[in-house]
Amino acid sequence: MTTDHIRLERREDGIVVLTLDHPTQDVNTISEDFQASLTRAVDEIVAGREDITGVVVTSAKKDFLAGADLVELRASMDAGDDLTAMFETFKGNLRRLETLGRPVVAAINGTALGGGFEIALACHHRIALDGPKIRIGLPEVQLGLLPGGGGVTRLVRLLGLQSALTQHLLTGARHRVAAALEAGLVDETVTEPEALLPAAIAWITANPQAAAPWDVEGYRMPGGTPDSPKLAAILPSFGATLLKQIGNAPMPAPKAILAAAVEGAKVDVDTASSIETRYVVSLLRDRVARNMVQAFFFDMQHCTSGGARPTQADGTPFAERRPTKVAVIGAGMMGAGIAYVTAKAGIDVVLKDVELASAEKGKAYSRTLVDTAVATGRLTQGKADELLARIHPSADSADLAGCDFVVEAVFESPELKDQVFRELEPVVAPDALLGSNTSTLPITGLAGSVTRPQAFIGLHFFSPVDKMPLLEIIRGEQTDDETLARALDYTQAIGMTPIVVNDSRGFYTSRVFARYIMEAATMLDEGIAPSVIEQAGRRAGYPAPPLQLSDELNLITLQKIMAESQRAAAQDPKMAAPEGALRVIDRMVDELQRTGRQAGQGFYDYADGKRVGLWPGLFEHFGTQPTPSVLEPAPDLDELVDRFLLGQAIEAQRCVDEGVIESDAEANIGAIFGFGFPPWTGGPRQFLATYPGGADALRARCTELEARHGARFHASDAITDGVWP
């Protein structure tokens, strides 16, 4: 029979096969209809228990099950539906299956994440197909949630508190199948899809009395319960480690996971499940989870699914055009990284530099990466050799013949870039896309070097390219729609996340990012202790505190960014860098010659390239001290946090107002992945939209900060009028 989302097949040997199969989508998700189908299927199985010898749960889709239907879940959150009842119904059905008294096997034929893996955890045995793209795990913490379908309760009982928390629940790790087997998440693997069902049937036949370990008399939790002396001795370190990781940033999910796991480990499995439900519902009512779901699911989906890809005048899409031969000009760290990700995507690359030795050195960067991948088992030697064979180092412009896509990645000099494009344009394919990797130089101006400005576009990669997933695509005044579509096709081919912005000084990411660094330098000029400035950055939830980040980026670069801000201020005074920030950076670079980590000295001191502490000389030169004085009143840490967050969010709003960036989704994703805007906010647009107290409170806070700190905190008309994403 069929139950809509789940097909139920009763075999002659008494084994029932439940096949998850969404009737209209390519992916199985846990929706209201799925829940109803699951209830009907379990009802039938329970009713026919006496004639059943076992149950196999598998999927008809490429993947096993992707997790909750987040569109539906968000609607339920907004409508104030009874989320507790929804979770308890789902978990009740899984528990009925788990306690059926017959062996139940999960035949995991593809990726099983979140709720998908929670279904598998409710089975007595898990067999997974081992494929290169298959992932298994519980990533809910990355959405500001916890695994509320039994994931916390069962994983703690399966692996023990310490392993479950540190390796899975608090990290949200998505494991390859081999790693999942080693970690104990699955019990068995097969290499061919056809082997899954026979393996499941064989296990059922061999284990007719199977049950979950925690339902067997005498069960003991691995590593002990929180009351066990050995575990109790180390349990406080879990909270300390968590606090070190997230600081005081408003990240409730990790804390809720820790609490649900520890509290649940003290009681029976059913009570633990109820505790888990209370915590997940509390998270779903919190704005942080809403923000993170919006950013990491809905906004990310917009960016990666071609939401910015233009159509032709008649509304039809441009034909997809994947590059066949890419020219990467400049074999420094950036160019070498671009060559690697391009070759990894199966595309031939000509990596050109002035000297062949430099180009060969650029290819060596890829060799280092693939050697590491081979050594760790993530790549075979044959695949590594194929990747490296696609990169062709050269110092001869003639080798660029036939290249249909160009990524220029030379030094940030308009004159040098002009020379490069004048030399290469006559050589590459007549219809080649002409791209320039730049973080600040206006694309419209650079396009003056070529005869086809409509084919010219900005491609702002982030360093290191092989680890940073974002690509900021900058459209010049003459860039046409087809060129933009081709740039997006390339981005998809190399597996990166694109955002599209219009030409402007500093574009979007560099312009908004600079506000974080400039605000920290301004605080230092005001006499605020550098340790307090760094503490405020951590408390806000940034991945790195601002003075440390300034050193990593190099203060000379920051000095140039601020100079760009001053030039832009001629048209818009609000673009000006704060005078205090200019004084601090200019003095650090020009007078003190402390330019950052690369030079071995900046805001921090370094020994053998390692950061050893804030430079004590900051007190002497800037009227502050490395640690706050007990004799001085403590600065308002909440105000420092607001200066960082609102400073960047207001600048992002200006970019929207000016048409620099047109999509809220891209503004959010570009900020989080481009310069580390705190993930708990959902991005700057989402942060403004969900500001506590709404538009009135936000407007009042901006007015207050503007009065104390200047025009950079001036609320734009969109904020004043309460116009939200």
Position 725 confidence tier, pLDDT thresholds 50, 70, 90: very low
Question: Cα–Cα distance between 436 and 472 in angstroms, integer?
Answer: 11
Nearest to 134 by CA among 90, 186, 99: 186
Question: Cα–Cα distance between 573 and 575 in angstroms, integer?
Answer: 5
Residue-wise DSSP of 577-593: PPHHHHHHHHIIIIIS-
The class of domain 509-720 in CATH terms is mainly alpha
Share of the chain above pLDDT 90, in %: 83
- Residue 408, beta-bridge partner list: 329, 436
Question: Cα–Cα distance between 307 and 492 in angstroms, integer?
Answer: 12
Position 715 confidence tier, pLDDT thresholds 50, 70, 90: confident
Cβ(406)–Cβ(434) under 8 Å?
A: yes
Which amino acid would we find at residue 598?
Answer: Q
Dihedral angle computed from the Cα positions of residues 515, 517, 523 and 528, in that order, rounded to the nearest 10 degrees:
150
pLDDT exceeds cutoff 80 at 280: yes
pLDDT exceeds cutoff 50 at 25: yes
Where in the sequence of the chain do the CATH 3.40.50.720 domains occur? 325-502
**144-148, 287-291, 719-723: lowest mean pLDDT where?**
719-723
**78-82, 545-549, 654-658: lowest mean pLDDT where?**
78-82
Position 239 confidence tier, pLDDT thresholds 50, 70, 90: confident
Position 633 confidence tier, pLDDT thresholds 50, 70, 90: low
Where in the sequence of the chain do the CATH 3.90.226.10 domains occur? 6-285
Cβ(666)–Cβ(303) under 8 Å?
A: yes
Nearest to 89 by CA among 38, 45, 144: 38
Share of the chain above pLDDT 70, in %: 97
List, in sequence order, every beta strand (DSSP E) within 310-375.
Answer: 325-329, 348-352
Position 631 confidence tier, pLDDT thresholds 50, 70, 90: low
Which amino acid would we find at residue 645?
Answer: L
Residue range 621-643: mean pLDDT, rounded: 74
Query: pLDDT by residue (tens digit) across 521-540?
Result: 999 999 999 999 999 999 99
Query: pLDDT by residue (tens digit) across 66-116?
Result: 999 999 988 888 777 789 999 999 999 999 999 999 999 999 999 999 999
Question: Cα–Cα distance between 110 and 460 in angstroms, integer?
Answer: 34
* pLDDT at 627 (0 to 100): 56
Question: Cα–Cα distance between 112 and 130 in angstroms, integer?
Answer: 12
Nearest to 242 by CA among 177, 329, 170: 170
Using DSSP, state whether 218 is helix, strand or coil: coil
Position 610 confidence tier, pLDDT thresholds 50, 70, 90: very high
CB-based contacts of 416: which residues, under 8 Å, 6+ apart?
A: 410
Using DSSP, state whether 163 is helix, strand or coil: helix
Between β-strands 6-10 and 15-20, what pairing exists: parallel, antiparallel or unpaired? Answer: antiparallel
Residue with tokens 């019990």: 187
Using DSSP, state whether 618 is helix, strand or coil: helix
**CATH number of the domain at 6-285, please?**
3.90.226.10
Where in the sequence of the chain do the CATH 1.10.1040.50 domains occur? 509-720
Dihedral angle computed from the Cα positions of residues 440, 444, 448 and 453, in that order, rounded to the nearest 10 degrees:
120
Question: Cα–Cα distance between 164 and 154 in angstroms, integer?
Answer: 9
Which amino acid would we find at residue 68?
Answer: A
- Residue 137, beta-bridge partner list: 113, 174
CATH superfamily entry for domain 325-502: NAD(P)-binding Rossmann-like Domain (3.40.50.720)
Residue range 243-248: mean pLDDT, rounded: 74
Residue range 147-160: mean pLDDT, rounded: 97
Work out the end-to-end distance of the chain between its first and last CA atoms, rounded to an integer number of angstroms.
45
Question: What mean pLDDT is reported for the chain?
Answer: 93
pLDDT exceeds cutoff 70 at 634: no
Cβ(436)–Cβ(471) under 8 Å?
A: no
pLDDT exceeds cutoff 90 at 719: no
Residue range 184-200: mean pLDDT, rounded: 97
Q: Any alpha helices (H) in 306-452, and if so which ranges?
A: 333-344, 356-375, 381-389, 414-424, 443-446
Residues labelled as active-site residues: 460
Residue range 316-342: mean pLDDT, rounded: 96
pLDDT exceeds cutoff 90 at 3: no
Around Cβ 471, how many Cβ atoms within 10 Å? Answer: 27
* pLDDT at 642 (0 to 100): 96
Question: Cα–Cα distance between 155 and 184 in angstroms, integer?
Answer: 10
* pLDDT at 618 (0 to 100): 92
Nearest to 558 by CA among 610, 508, 521: 521
Position 150 confidence tier, pLDDT thresholds 50, 70, 90: very high
DSSP character at residue 626: S
Q: Any alpha helices (H) in 569-636, and if so which ranges?
A: 579-586, 617-622
Dihedral angle computed from the Cα positions of residues 16, 18, 19 and 24, in that order, rounded to the nearest 10 degrees:
130
pLDDT exceeds cutoff 90 at 723: no
pLDDT exceeds cutoff 50 at 483: yes
* pLDDT at 550 (0 to 100): 96
Cβ(125)–Cβ(215) under 8 Å?
A: no
Position 720 confidence tier, pLDDT thresholds 50, 70, 90: low
Nearest to 322 by CA among 487, 490, 495, 471: 490
Residue with tokens 């928390």: 165
Choose between 718 and 548: higher pLDDT.
548
Query: pLDDT by residue (tens digit) across 360-410?
Result: 999 999 999 999 999 988 899 999 999 999 999 999 999 999 999 999 999
Residue range 114-138: mean pLDDT, rounded: 97
